[in-house]
Structure 1
Amino acid sequence: MMRLCAVLLICLSSSLLTVQAAPPAHWSVGYHRLTFLDPLDLQPMKAIAFYPSSGREHQSRIGSYMIQATEDAKVAIGRYPLLMLSHGNTGTPLALHDLATSLARKGFIVVAVLHPGDNYKDQSRLGTLSNLYGRPMQISEAITATLGDPMLSPYVEAEDVGVIGYSAGGETALILAGAQPNLERLRRYCQERPDDKDACNTKGELIVDRDDLQPVADPRVHALLLMAPLSLMFGRHTLADVHVPVLMYSGGADKLVFPDKNAAALARKLPVAPQFKLIAGAGHFVFMAPCSEAQFKATPGLCTDAEGVNREDIHRDLIHEAGSFFAKTLSVPSHGGMQTADQTDQ
């Protein structure tokens, strides 16, 4: 009997050691290119999906950015909430690559959409109604494309969709959540502040290139993260149908999208009070990923922050709070348990 008990104790101890030695759940990041049709003209448009992966992570060059993700790496077993990323006017979603990859590492699928006609390569729709109303339609089409993608669809929680909007992407996100732009508000604003070259590049008169478009909400959207949102076109009554939770950031020294007429005013008017964080001294570009040395040399205006503003610290806090916000407002990412060393090395 004594000998049997000793054997059992040894086996039990060995089992406990095995459990304790198992690594905690952790994901690397993969990325997958999506191509689908722009709902405005049925021409191909592109997006990049960042997702939790069980594969070994490599650094990849995507355009001019070095990103911690591996193309078409194995998707980690599980089902994950879907986050759509809408960039600013004339921009690229890859400017926020650290936020996208960090949220993927936390257990979200993040789809970064390049808006046709309003990006760093193509500004043909800038200042038009088709851009204002078309951007939300493009995000909706990207949601549908992701849910139908053979590689990603088995891993997406179709009912758990959030939108991340930066600058003009904030306007896009609000329309998707039910907001209705008031073009007269833009006209009045541009009469008051004609020197605002960003919002008033058309002097407050959007080009009516399409008269068949209207703002269309997407009922699949259940939470918004807004950064320096362009939102001066929304009055209290035009926001009445926005009932999703909102986490919002703005730079206190933003000279492109002034917080007093945009984020701060929006925070007072939303029917559901948002979590609103005004970052003292920060400018408009602080939400872009911290720059490499080469980027500092090439685009110092986008990379240089005011004295006392630490972009790395701001992004560390932003990533943590965004992960917590979406985990609370959308379903907690589910997965098939702890990875083994073999899974991690695949």
Structure 2
Amino acid sequence: MKTRALLTLLLLGGLLARAEASPWVAGLHRLTLADPVDAQPMQALVFYPSSSPARPTRIEGYTLRVAEEAPVAMGQFPLLVVSHGNTGTPVALHDLATSLARQGFVVVAVTHPGDNLRDHSRLGKLSNLYGRPLQVSAAITAARADHLLSPYLSQGKVGVIGYSAGGETALILSGAQPDLERLRNYCLERPMDADACKTHGVLIADRSELTPQSDPRVGAVMLMAPLSLMFGRHALAGVHVPALIYSGDQDQLLAVDRNASALARKLPVTPDYRLLSGAGHFVFMAPCDDEQRQRMAVLCKDADGIDRRQVHRGLQSEAAAFFSQALGAPEPAERSAAVGAASQQQDQAHP
């Protein structure tokens, strides 16, 4: 364990040094694909390393500094997909996504149809629980086929970042099988949990033919304040990927003892679990500007002593180290060329 911790620290130090010296900015590419639930168009924002000039862009009330539709930097970069929370937006996680892009990852942030900021039509339905993982899988396929992105994507495993209900989505993708009875029993026990028990623990079976589908391309998951009520030890038996889990011990929406903390104990592969003292559910959303603090104070206000920007600096560096270790580090063009030249010399020396 000490050796593993030392390797992680060395890797993190190298990534921080490279991030400070990196010429990359976050590119932004808008991707449209078919929702596998009903074949209607669904949207995703893709952030990727680019060397073009970045400019401020306003999206859904957030200001992002990106290079829109700019060329991708030369190299081979691991693919990550972000799954947002119920009735949320992927743009709320833009600072993590753009930071990872600047550090050499391609990050696809999907907008889940029927469960986003503007459309709540699938909330509390099986089509949402089982449709969300299908949408992430479709986004992986679409990114790998996209003319702008595909030449620069590493061919290894993919990482999934899940926030809140997105954590549930990430777990299904990595092999978990939801136990619907666990949700019903939880809501009988804690009926006042307004977030988890809006449908009294019984999901509407609008698409009974849908089933939980894992994706063998997923090789690592990062979960922030994950909703994981439906997963007991047996339901998690199929999850064998490394996991980095964050939660706040003052989460005002999800009971930590029945979600993140229970999940960390039950996963077959012991995760790296970080319980943040004093932090609430919304600390994982991007830091707010003055206009947002006025417009959505509940989402922006943290407890005394919690510096959201400092929390996010840790998230950004630790996420890059975790995914580099689990999936393989980004390879800029100069490194790819050096590796290729060394391999060629070795082949010549040992015909």
Letter of the aligned partner of 1:216 in structure 2? Q
- In 1, the alpha carbon distance for the partners of 2:26 and 2:199 equals 40
Q: How does 1:113-128 map to 2 (within 5 A)?
A: 113-128=110-125
Residue number in structure 2 paired with 1:11: none
Offset at residue 63 of structure 1 (A): 2.6
Q: How does 1:163-312 map to 2 (within 5 A)?
A: 163-312=160-309
Residue number in structure 1 paired with 2:156: 159
Structure 1 residue runs of 5 or longer lacking an equivalent are 1-22, 339-346
Q: How high is the TM-score relative to the length of structure 1?
A: 0.90
| Aligned partners of 1:25 and 1:337 also within 8 Å | no
SS at match of 2:192: coil
Structure 2 residue runs of 5 or longer lacking an equivalent are 1-19, 336-351
| Aligned partners of 2:22 and 2:102 also within 8 Å | no
- In 2, the alpha carbon distance for the partners of 1:301 and 1:120 equals 15
Residue number in structure 2 paired with 1:38: 35
- In 1, the alpha carbon distance for the partners of 2:289 and 2:253 equals 23
Offset at residue 58 of structure 1 (A): 1.4
Q: How does 1:315-334 map to 2 (within 5 A)?
A: 315-334=312-331
For this pair of structures, how many residues does the alignment match? 316
* Aligned: 1:112 with 2:102: no
Q: How does 1:44-123 map to 2 (within 5 A)?
A: 44-123=41-120
Q: Post-superposition, which runs of at least 4 consecutive aligned residues in structure 1 deviate over 2 A?
A: 23-26
Offset at residue 298 of structure 1 (A): 0.1
Q: How high is the TM-score relative to the length of structure 2?
A: 0.89
SS at match of 1:158: coil
- In 1, the alpha carbon distance for the partners of 2:169 and 2:180 equals 15
Letter of the aligned partner of 1:303 in structure 2? C
- In 2, the alpha carbon distance for the partners of 1:333 and 1:43 equals 33
- In 1, the alpha carbon distance for the partners of 2:23 and 2:235 equals 42
- In 2, the alpha carbon distance for the partners of 1:85 and 1:320 equals 17
- In 2, the alpha carbon distance for the partners of 1:118 and 1:246 equals 25
Offset at residue 117 of structure 1 (A): 0.1
Identity of aligned residues (%): 61
Residue number in structure 2 paired with 1:15: none
- In 1, the alpha carbon distance for the partners of 2:166 and 2:22 equals 32
1:162-206 deviation line (CA, Å, top 9, x unaligned): 000000000000000000000000000001110111100000000
- In 1, the alpha carbon distance for the partners of 2:163 and 2:26 equals 22
- In 2, the alpha carbon distance for the partners of 1:25 and 1:97 equals 19
- In 1, the alpha carbon distance for the partners of 2:286 and 2:80 equals 18
Gap change, CA 1:25 and 1:320, over 3 Å in 2: closer
| Aligned partners of 2:220 and 2:323 also within 8 Å | yes
Between structure 1 and structure 2, the one with the greater Rg is 1
SS at match of 1:136: helix
Offset at residue 24 of structure 1 (A): 4.7
SS at match of 2:113: coil
SS at match of 2:94: helix
Letter of the aligned partner of 1:335 in structure 2? P
Letter of the aligned partner of 2:330 in structure 1? P
SS at match of 1:191: helix
| Aligned partners of 2:252 and 2:280 also within 8 Å | yes
1:28-68 deviation line (CA, Å, top 9, x unaligned): 11110000100000000000000000111211122321101
SS at match of 2:97: helix
Offset at residue 337 of structure 1 (A): 2.3
- In 2, the alpha carbon distance for the partners of 1:165 and 1:26 equals 28
SS at match of 1:237: coil
Offset at residue 214 of structure 1 (A): 0.4
- Higher deviation after alignment, 248-257 or 58-67: 58-67
Letter of the aligned partner of 1:220 in structure 2? R
Gap change, CA 1:25 and 1:314, over 3 Å in 2: closer
| Aligned partners of 2:27 and 2:66 also within 8 Å | yes
